Structure 1
């Protein structure tokens, strides 16, 4: 679908920076402000997939008027102000990406909207969550971008800005759902947007900048879908999607996408017992990332390298990589940190280090880092909270603390009511095997009974 003449002409005028919004952010980094937006959304029962890149686009003036969900959140965060006070254009003055046409159908009635929202927040159904956030059919009015990805049809022309934005929004929403629900229930749902994104690439774009966005967006979407496959135990599918993303990165000459692909490939290689491949992929990712001016990205890739050395039981090389990772991390966040790294804070650093010490057969030391990971984790990342808790349970079980291990395992099991992750399930299965000799302990017995199939 080609861009309309209106949107094409508007795109030729450089956007004016939104200085009012930038002032409201204050000293907080874009990532910190994005986290505050997500918290504010939860306070009023909204769900927005805000991240550092979205904040950057608002401040750059690329988003002239937010959608209705973001509007409600921003007005909740800054009571007494109007959209104009926040630096946005009036909705009726915006055409194309930011506005609904005047002939749009009536939105979902509030009562029905509340029912859908409660169903999303309280059910464990990732399918319901996907539908509510636009990754499947829902009652109400989908955005133009959602229609592009979820009602695929042959294009009559080349792809334009609306299509590129649709792909980018699909990536954000899939990541948001994965953070809250894990990969098991989302993988097949996300396959449709991925197919549509590569169809848009095949159709070509109206201008080179749009084609570059489509390449990056399709590659990031392939990585997101690959991660859903990885988390849900479909490891061959994950490997295929990661390879597809890497190929897309190299065709486009996108170093950031290439570094992301190598990060995921290193993680998968470690998980599937190929530590030397993990190290090579992590080192390749570090080479690609050196042009990115993002110390946090280098820190994550160096932690991926450390994980490979740990599985090889090369303590000296692992400790060297951990030292380098901490040094890079200590340099702080950067405006150039990729948006997909919103999960990577101190909690993730602690979890990845815990996994290294666990692989090096130092479970007590690993448990200390796992505890810190749980304490530091943003509850938004529900799957990572479950993962850190399962890691702690396993480390405690192997360090001779069965009672504490069973308590942590029970907590992780409770979290799986809302998070569907084959990785977490596999970790708890291993913990259960370790705890079998202690089954006379009442807490251990209760955990083992709860884990047993009905």
Structure 2
């Protein structure tokens, strides 16, 4: 295993470490160390469900520094080295997500690319596919959506033929979002159909799945569908989905509910339902105060700006005073 993959890994990712990198020279590294890193990133993913990127990202920084230091100085077998590189890819991928949520889009894209590279060099094709799809999602969410769609198509086309259905769901959902960002309604329909088919195959046979896709289920895919139709300004499709599927999430998931409320409020506005839009946006404002998510703040500001033509409506005026 080429140790150069680990030396300076944190610095290459643009991460300023906040924790100690001190690791004994020559320490023997085994599978238990790999599992500790994998469990740590799994725990941080759950923490992110209830918090936000700004608070979680520094914790991921520490883990990347610790793993890269251990792997660059320790001794291990070739197989353990590949597993360490795959674990580093997982950390890069999650760091990418938290950086995005913290409002650091360019750093997030760099981290997603590094995740894909690490996964591919480790021979972890599943992680490589999800990392590339994450990069596509970030790019589609930027001012370069066409490039994001090309990446999303590549991540789906290049996934292993036997890729797990749950992973194919993620790839297809992100392709749907990329299509929505470029105004391709037919592409959205096709990608959502691929996602639905993968869900059916997932339900038909229970298998062990990587923790990187622990969050995906039919509700999440339906919410993505609602987002896509809202992005395409098709409220007749977006509203019924988002109205139904925001209900299962309670306020402990403040970021998610705030985001869903923003998308639903936008769809209500497009449908001309000002009262419903105002009520929903008010909830988003209230919940956003309990998150450490600059991304949520940005989405909320965009949503509120769409209310400007209705400033003379008393309820809208009250919304702006919150």
Report the TM range for the smaller structure's normalisation. 0.7 to 0.9
State the match for 1:342 in structure 2: 214
**Do the aligned partners of 1:366 and 1:395 also contact (CA within 8 Å) in 2?**
yes
What SS does structure 2 have at the residue aligned with 1:375?
coil
Structure 1 pair 379–206 and aligned structure 2 pair: CA distance change class (3 A) = farther
Q: Cα deviation per residue 1:255-295 (whole Å; 9 max; x = unaligned)?
A: 11101201211110110032332222222322443345411
Bigger helix share: 2
Of 16, 19, 25, the residue aligned with 1:156 is: 25
State the match for 1:310 in structure 2: 180
Structure 1 pair 413–205 and aligned structure 2 pair: CA distance change class (3 A) = farther
TM-score (norm 2): 0.86
State the match for 1:277 in structure 2: 147
**1:301 is aligned to 2:179:** no
**1:181 is aligned to 2:33:** no
State the match for 1:404 in structure 2: 276
What SS does structure 1 have at the residue aligned with 2:23?
coil
Task: Report the Cα distance in structure 1 between the residues aligned to 2:201 and 2:35, rounded to whole angstroms.
Answer: 32
Structure 1 pair 205–250 and aligned structure 2 pair: CA distance change class (3 A) = farther
Task: Report the Cα distance in structure 2 between the residues aligned to 1:269 and 1:163, rounded to whole angstroms.
Answer: 33
- The structural deviation recorded for 1:234 is 0.4
Of 93, 115, 118, the residue aligned with 1:245 is: 115
What SS does structure 1 have at the residue aligned with 2:76?
coil
Structure 1 pair 273–363 and aligned structure 2 pair: CA distance change class (3 A) = farther
- The structural deviation recorded for 1:377 is 4.0
Aligned length: 302
Task: Report the Cα distance in structure 2 between the residues aligned to 1:281 and 1:154, rounded to whole angstroms.
Answer: 38
Structure 1 pair 255–204 and aligned structure 2 pair: CA distance change class (3 A) = farther
State the match for 1:371 in structure 2: 243
What SS does structure 2 have at the residue aligned with 1:289?
coil
Task: Report the Cα distance in structure 1 between the residues aligned to 2:246 and 2:227, rounded to whole angstroms.
Answer: 13
Return the structure number with greater relative CO, CA threshold 8 A, min gap 6: 2
State the match for 1:124 in structure 2: none
What SS does structure 1 have at the residue aligned with 2:307?
helix
Comparing 261-270 and 374-383, the one that deviates more:
374-383
Q: Cα deviation per residue 1:279-316 (whole Å; 9 max; x = unaligned)?
A: 22222322443345411211221121122222222222
**Do the aligned partners of 1:256 and 1:288 also contact (CA within 8 Å) in 2?**
no
Task: Report the Cα distance in structure 2 between the residues aligned to 1:384 and 1:163, rounded to whole angstroms.
Answer: 32
Within-5 A mapping of 1:32-431? 151-157=20-26, 158-333=28-203, 334-377=206-249, 381-431=253-303
**Do the aligned partners of 2:261 and 2:284 also contact (CA within 8 Å) in 1?**
yes
TM-score (norm 1): 0.62
Task: Report the Cα distance in structure 1 between the residues aligned to 2:78 and 2:252, rounded to whole angstroms.
Answer: 36
State the match for 1:36 in structure 2: none
**Do the aligned partners of 1:350 and 1:372 also contact (CA within 8 Å) in 2?**
no
Comparing 324-333 and 345-354, the one that deviates more:
324-333
- The structural deviation recorded for 1:353 is 0.7
- Higher Cα radius of gyration: 1
**Do the aligned partners of 1:347 and 1:377 also contact (CA within 8 Å) in 2?**
no
Task: Report the Cα distance in structure 2 between the residues aligned to 1:385 and 1:198, rounded to whole angstroms.
Answer: 35
Instruction: List gaps (5 residues or longer) in structure 2.
Output: 1-17
What SS does structure 1 have at the residue aligned with 2:258?
helix
What SS does structure 2 have at the residue aligned with 1:361?
coil
Structure 1 pair 198–378 and aligned structure 2 pair: CA distance change class (3 A) = farther
**Do the aligned partners of 2:126 and 2:167 also contact (CA within 8 Å) in 1?**
no
Instruction: List gaps (5 residues or longer) in structure 1.
Output: 1-148
Task: Report the Cα distance in structure 2 between the residues aligned to 1:394 and 1:423, rounded to whole angstroms.
Answer: 16
State the match for 1:43 in structure 2: none
**Do the aligned partners of 1:309 and 1:315 also contact (CA within 8 Å) in 2?**
yes
State the match for 1:448 in structure 2: 320
**Do the aligned partners of 1:262 and 1:281 also contact (CA within 8 Å) in 2?**
yes
**Do the aligned partners of 1:347 and 1:372 also contact (CA within 8 Å) in 2?**
no
Task: Report the Cα distance in structure 1 between the residues aligned to 2:250 and 2:195, rounded to whole angstroms.
Answer: 21
Task: Report the Cα distance in structure 1 between the residues aligned to 2:54 and 2:270, rounded to whole angstroms.
Answer: 28
**Do the aligned partners of 1:364 and 1:396 also contact (CA within 8 Å) in 2?**
no
Could you say what the CA RMSD is over the residues aligned between the two structures, in angstroms?
2.2
